[in-house]
Amino acid sequence: MNLNLKNKFKLASLLLAMAIIAIILINQRTLTKVQRFDKVQIELLTLKKDMLTLRRNEKDFIARNDLKYREKFSKNSALLKQHLTQLKISVAKVELASDALTTIDTALDNYFLSFNNLVANQKELGLTHKLGLYGSLRNTAHVTENEIRKHNNQQLLADLLQLRRNEKDFMLRQDTKYLDKFNKNLKLFKQHLKSSDLSDQLKQGFGNIIDFYQQDFHNFVEKSKEKGLDSSSGLRGEMRKQIHSVENTLDSLYVSLNSNVEQELGNIERFILITEIFGAAIGGLVVLIMMWLSRSILSPIKAIGSTIKNITKQNDLSVRVDTQGEDEIAEIGQSFNHMLESIAQILFNVTHASNKVNQKTIEMSQLAENNSRDLQNQQNQTEQMATAMSQMSSTIQDVASNAVQAAQNAQNANSQSIEGKKIVDLTSETINAIAEYIKTASQSIENVAKDSERIGSVLEEIRGYRRPNQSIGSQCSD
């Protein structure tokens, strides 16, 4: 597969990204499943806490008969219902059976209804000692007691106090035996009333009042029985049964959930092991890809480096780099080969130009030698001319000395004096011309000497330039 480096890196990055995404998705799925089970457990515990809160509101109402606890109960029951709905959704997400939650929902509805009935029952009984049956019973007892005190009948007052005692014992202990005692003592009260010295009208009035008192107490007892004399009877027993049903269902659901969680955690552990093996396989694959990628990069680079070393050692520009492939390194090898071809062509051109320079140098050398010979001949001729000039100068000096002699002789001969003067004038002009000619010849000789020195230095430079070019030419020809 011929890929350039960019595509190779893209392929490696793509495979690595796919492996990372796969591992992340697997871990995310596992984590999501564990989080869902944890959420179910937390919501179950929250539901249990809500149940305990409701039980506390219930107990507070039973103990204090305060309607604010009914409001708290209603608020917490709505919150419990909301949590139960959330639990149903969470249980459905983890694919657990929701029949138990339906049972809990039904039992809670019955529990809420029983508690509201209990509150209504307690309102009839009386939330305080002034309200309901309790208030009516108390008022009747107080009226009876006040009437008896007005007539100062101690026996009837004692009997009434005994009835009040039975009443209080029942209220405190919620035991029907005190109802029996109440009925027994009520008969005794009526016997003592009948045998008292009160008028018939008073006896009838006390009889009616005590009958009202008896009726109120019996109603209070019946409502107390309806409420439940203990936690296992009446509305209290029904609530207790329902709340225990809810708690037992929650406990069984919690145990079932823990069992499913442990089983699922075992599956998750196996799944994590598989994930780790998969991750290790992906890591090994990535390592192999990176090794292949590094080899596909380093091997051609090493080949290019080895070729460069061989070229350096052997000075052989005919060696070429292997350019197999279509990646950037193959392009570098092709560019390097083109560079070697260009260098070889440049060296060939330099060698060819050097050969031409050598040929021209030889021709210039021959020309310089010819010039040197001509200059030597010219120098010889100049030296000969200088010798002739020296001889001519001696001759002129002799002529001058003869002219002086002639002048002396002119004094002796007048006729010869005129001729001698002409000869002297002619001789003087000749000497001046010869002197100018000698001066010009001397300057020409000096210029020729300078030109000879310049030509000699040029020849030396040409000879020095010829020698390196000859060595370069020999190397290129090699």
What CATH number is attached to the domain comprising 185? 1.20.58.920
**Using an 8 Å Cβ cutoff, are 18 and 26 in contact?**
no
Confirm whether 293 is domain-assigned.
no
Residue 404: pLDDT band by 50, 70, 90 thresholds? Answer: low
For residue 473, the model assigns a pLDDT of 47
Q: DSSP string of 229-264?
A: SSTTSHHHHHHHHHHHHHHHHHHHHHHHHHHHHHHH
Residue 301 belongs to some domain of the structure: no
Burial class (CB in 10 A: 0-12, 13-18, 19+), 425: exposed
Q: Are 84 and 47 in contact (CB under 8 A)?
A: yes
358 in the same domain as 276: no
| pLDDT tens column, 347-383 | 778 787 777 867 877 777 777 677 667 767 777 776 7
Phi, then psi, of 196 in degrees rounded to 5? -75, 170
Buried b (16+ CB within 10 A) or exposed e, 81-107: eebbeebbebbeeeebebebbebbbeb
Q: Which of 284, 312, 347 is the last residue of a domain?
A: 284
In a domain, 296, yes or no: no
pLDDT for 274-296, tens place per residue? 777 877 787 787 777 777 777 76
Q: Tens of pLDDT along 189-199?
A: 999 999 988 88
CA distance 421 to 431: 15
Same domain, 279 and 339: no
Mean pLDDT rounded to a whole number for the chain = 78
Q: Cα–Cα distance between 148 and 227 in angstroms, integer?
A: 33
Handedness of CA 25, 29, 35, 39 (dihedral sign): positive
pTM of the model: 0.52
Residue 1 pLDDT more than 60? no
Say how far apart CA 300 and CA 311 lie, in whole Å.
17
Residues 173 and 241 reside in one and the same domain:
yes
Residue 367: domain span: 328-477
Q: What is the CATH number of the domain that holds 463?
A: 1.10.287.950
- Domain for residue 323, yes or no? no
End-to-end CA distance of the chain: 43
Q: Using the 3D structure, point to which of 261, 284, 307 is the last residue of a domain.
A: 284
- Report pLDDT digits (tens) over 450-468: 766 777 676 676 666 555 5
Give me the number of domains the chain comprises: 2
For residue 317, is it within any domain? no
Residues 49, 148: one domain?
Answer: yes
Looking at residue 472, its pLDDT comes to 44
